[in-house]
Amino acid sequence: MMLFEVALQVLREAVRRRWVLALFIGITGMLLLLSFTLQLEVVDGALAASRLFGKVLGIGAEDAEVALRPLFAAGSALLFYGGLLFGIVATADFAPRLLEPGRIEHLLALPIRRWQLLLGTFLGVLVLCLSAGLYGALCFTVLIGTKTGFWMWQLFGSALLCTVAFASIYAVMLGSVTWVRSAATSAALGGVMFILGIIASNRVAIAPFITEGWGRTGFEAVTSVVPRIASLGLLAAHPDLDPERLAQLPTLLVGMGLFTVAVLTLALSNFESKDY
Amino acid sequence: MHALEVSGLTKTYGSALGRKQEALRGVDLALPAGTSFGLIGPNGAGKTTFIKTLLGIVAPTSGELRLLGGSPKDPAIRRRLGYLPERLHLPAFDTPPSFLRQIARFKGVAWDADQIRALICRVGLEDAIDRRVGGFSKGMRQRLGLASALIGAPELLILDEPTDGIDPMGRAEIRRILADEVARGTTLFLNSHLLSETERICTRIGVLNRGKLVLEGPLETLRQPSPRWTLRFAEGAPREALLALGFEPQDTGSWQLEAADAEGLNVKLDRAREAGALLVGLTPELRDLEKVLAEAMQEAA
C-alpha cells in the first residue's frame, strides 16, 4: 500500500542520515557507560549497595525491587522527556525536506495521493521514534536485568507513551509545514507544544494564579485542548501510582488521539488544496 | 486519441493582500497521441504553471483538462506518465539505483536490478552508478531525473528543461533518447529555453505569452510563412539579368527570391533559365524558432 511505501521511504532516508546513526550510537554509548560504571550488589533479593563511577549512591540495604524503582522511574522519565525533545529537534526537517521545491512536484506527479504522502510521513516518523524508544528501553532493561536479576518492563511502557505524546506534537509540527515550509518553525512549534503540554497538565493548579476574567478564561480554554504531556510523563515514570491516577490513562490517550486526528485533518485539508 | 486536451484553462494566484495575478488566461490545446510538442515563451509567461496545472500539482481556477483520457488527479493516469521538474531535488544519500528503485515502487512497476542498470546506462550515468546523488553535478541530476521519468515506459513524457546543465555531447544523447521515445509512440511535452533544442526534438510548437497560447501549430508551418527562397546557380550566371528579374545577391554567393506561390516561383525560374542561368540548388527560406517567437511576441503585444 502506498501509505506504507511512503513511510518506508521516510525510514530509509532517516537511516541514511548521520543523526540517526548518532542517536543509536548515543543511546548505546550511554548504556555501555552505565553498564561499566554502575555497580549493583544484590544479596538474597536485597540491594546491598550501588555505585556510580565508584561512588556509593547512599541507598541502604533494602528490597531490590523497591530499591530499583527510583532508578527505573528516572530511566522512564529520561526516556519519555528526552525522547520527546530529541524527537522534536531531530525530525523537524523531515517534512520540510519532503516539500522542498523540485521534490514535492516530482512526488505529486507520481501515483501517490496527497493524503498518503502526508500520513505516510507521519507514520514513518512515529515508527522511527518508537524504534529509538524501544531500543533504549530494551538496552536499559537488559543492563539492569543482567546486573541484578530483576526484570522490569516499565521502560517499554514509557517508550510507547512517549510515542503517543510525540504523535500529538509531531502532528502540529507536520501540519505547520503545510502552511510554512520551515524546519525552524516546525521545531519551534514542537517546543511550544511540549511546554504547553506541561502547562496544560498542571492547568488546575496554575489557573488560580491568573487574574479572574478573560485572562483566566483564555488560559483555561487554550489549555483544555492541549495534550497533557506531563500527566502522561508522570504515568510513564510511576506506573505504580494510586489507581485513581492510573484510571486517567485512557482519558489522556483518547484526548491525545482526538487532538492528533483533529490537527492532521486540518493539515490534510490545507495540503490537498495547496499549489506547489 | 488525444494525449492531452486543455480547454479554457485559467489560473489566478491570490496574495494575502488580496492582489491577484493571472498566470494562465484561457489556454486551449489538444495534442494527439505520439506528438512531440515544444512549449516556448519568455520568462514569466506561465510555462511552468501550465505544466504543473497539467499534472494536478497546481489546481486550475477554471477550465477543463484531460490527460490520457482522464484526470491528472487520478493515480492510475499519473502511473502512465513521466515527469521531470525544472529543478529536480534528489535525496542526497541515494545512489542512482536506490533512487530509481524507489520511483519504480511508487509507480507500481516491478523492475529488476538489470532493468534499472540498463536505464542508468541509457542516460549515461554508468560511471556514477555507485555514487551518492549528493555529489552529482547539475547535468548528472538531470540525467537521473530523466531516467526516473522514463520508468514504466510512460505514454506521456512531460519534461521541464531536460537538457539544462547538460554538456553539448550529453544534449545529443538526450535528444536521441527522446527521439527513441517518440518513435516508440510516447507523446512528448517539452518546455525548454533552448530554442534550438526544441526545434530539433519537437514537431509541434506552442508559444505561451502572459498566460495565453498566442501561437500553436506544426513546426514546419510556423517556420515557413515567408515566401522567400534561397537559390544557387551554376558559375557564369548572368548577374544583370538576374538582378533585373528581382533576384537578390547574397554574400555567400547564393541568391534570394520572393515568390508568393509555386507558380510565381517557376515563372521567375523559367525566365532566369532563358537568360542563361542554370539552377543547381533551391531551398525555402525557413525562419528559425527565435524569429517565430519574436514575431509572436510582437503580435501579442
Kindly report, residue by residue over B211-268, the tens digit of the pLDDT.
999 989 888 877 766 678 889 999 888 999 999 999 999 988 899 998 878 888 899 9
**Long-range contact pairs involving A16-25 (C-beta distance under 8 Å, separation at least 24):** A16/B91, A16/B93, A16/B94, A17/B93, A19/A90, A20/A90, A20/A128, A23/A86, A23/A90, A23/A132, A24/A132, A24/A135
Instruction: Name the pairing type of β-strands B156-160 and B187-191.
Output: parallel
Question: Measured between CB atoms, does B104 come within 8 Å of chain A?
Answer: no
What pLDDT score was predicted for residue B136?
92
d(CA B4, CA B189): 9
* Helix residue ranges per DSSP H, chain A: 2-15, 18-37, 64-77, 83-91, 94-98, 104-108, 114-148, 154-179, 183-201, 203-206, 214-225, 229-237, 243-246, 248-272
Whether residues B106 and A102 touch (CB distance < 8 A) is answered with: no
Whether residues A105 and B79 touch (CB distance < 8 A) is answered with: no
What pLDDT score was predicted for residue B228?
83
What pLDDT score was predicted for residue A72?
82
Whether residues B88 and A12 touch (CB distance < 8 A) is answered with: no
What pLDDT score was predicted for residue A37?
77
What pLDDT score was predicted for residue B295?
78
* B203: confidence class by pLDDT, cuts 50, 70, 90: very high
What pLDDT score was predicted for residue B289?
76
pLDDT at A60 over 70: no
d(CA A195, CA A223): 11
What pLDDT score was predicted for residue A237?
84
A273 neighbourhood in chain B, CB within 8 Å: 59
Which of A97, A181, A105, A108 shows the shortest CA–CA distance to B161? A105
The share of chain B scoring above pLDDT 70, in percent, equals 98
d(CA B172, CA B164): 13
In terms of pLDDT, which residue wins out, A38 or A213?
A213
Amino acid at B91: P
- The three-state DSSP-derived secondary structure of chain B is CEEEEEEEEEEEEECCCCCEEEEEEEEEEEEECCCEEEEECCCCCCHHHHHHHHCCCCCCCEEEEEECCECCCCHHHHCCEEEECCCCCCCCCCCHHHHHHHHHHHHCCCCCHHHHHHHHHHCCCHHHCCCCHHHCCHHHHHHHHHHHHHCCCCCEEEEECCCCCCCHHHHHHHHHHHHHHHHHCCEEEEECCCHHHHHHHCCEEEEEECCEEEEEEEHHHHHCCCCEEEEEECCCCCHHHHHHHCCEECCCCCEEEECCCHHHHHHHHHHHHHCCCCEEEEEECCCCHHHHHHHHHHHHC
Identify whether the C-beta of residue A24 lies closer than 8 Å to the C-beta of residue A135: yes
The CA distance from A178 to the nearest CA of chain B, in Å, is: 14
User: Over chain A, what is the mean pLDDT?
Assistant: 87
pLDDT at A62 over 70: no
* A111: confidence class by pLDDT, cuts 50, 70, 90: very high
* A33: confidence class by pLDDT, cuts 50, 70, 90: confident
What pLDDT score was predicted for residue B99?
94
* A110: confidence class by pLDDT, cuts 50, 70, 90: very high
- CA distances to A34, A73, A240 from A63, in Å: 22, 16, 16
User: Over chain B, what is the mean pLDDT?
Assistant: 90
Kindly report, residue by residue over A207-219, the tens digit of the pLDDT.
999 888 899 999 9
d(CA A107, CA A98): 9
Of B58, B76, B78, the CB nearest to A275: B58
Q: Three-class SS of residue A50?
A: strand
What pLDDT score was predicted for residue B106?
94
Which of B291, B165, B178, B170 shows the shortest CA–CA distance to B228? B291
What pLDDT score was predicted for residue A182?
94
What pLDDT score was predicted for residue B272?
93
B75 neighbourhood in chain A, CB within 8 Å: 2, 111-113
Q: What sign for the dihedral angle of Cα B172, B175, B179, B184?
A: positive
Amino acid at A112: I
Q: Is the ipTM of this complex over 0.95?
A: no
The share of chain A scoring above pLDDT 70, in percent, equals 91
A&B contacts, CB < 8 Å: 72
Kindly report, residue by residue over B119-168, the tens digit of the pLDDT.
999 999 999 999 999 899 888 999 999 999 999 999 999 999 888 888 88
Kindly report, residue by residue over A179-196, the tens digit of the pLDDT.
999 999 999 999 999 999
What pLDDT score was predicted for residue A57?
64
- Neighbouring CB atoms inside 10 A of B19's CB total 8
d(CA A141, CA A186): 33
What pLDDT score was predicted for residue A139?
87
What pLDDT score was predicted for residue B164?
83
Query: pTM to 2 decimals?
Result: 0.84
The share of chain A scoring above pLDDT 90, in percent, equals 55
Cell of residue B249, nine digits: 545577391
Mean pLDDT, residues A224-241 taken together: 87
What pLDDT score was predicted for residue A64?
64
What pLDDT score was predicted for residue A68?
75
pLDDT at A132 over 80: yes
Lowest mean pLDDT among A36-40, A176-180, B265-269: A36-40
What pLDDT score was predicted for residue A196?
96
In terms of pLDDT, which residue wins out, B68 or A240?
B68
What pLDDT score was predicted for residue B69?
93
d(CA B144, CA B189): 18
* A38: confidence class by pLDDT, cuts 50, 70, 90: confident
What chain A residue is nearest to B101 in terms of C-alpha separation?
Answer: A9
pLDDT at A75 over 90: no
Identify whether the C-beta of residue A193 lies closer than 8 Å to the C-beta of residue A165: no
Mean pLDDT, residues A170-176 taken together: 97
Identify whether the C-beta of residue B223 lies closer than 8 Å to the C-beta of residue B293: no
Mean pLDDT, residues A11-17 taken together: 85
Question: Measured between CB atoms, does A1 come within 8 Å of chain B?
Answer: no
What pLDDT score was predicted for residue A61?
58
Cell of residue A234, nine digits: 508522570
Whether residues A106 and B108 touch (CB distance < 8 A) is answered with: no
Query: Tell me, what DSSP letter sits at residue A205?
Result: H
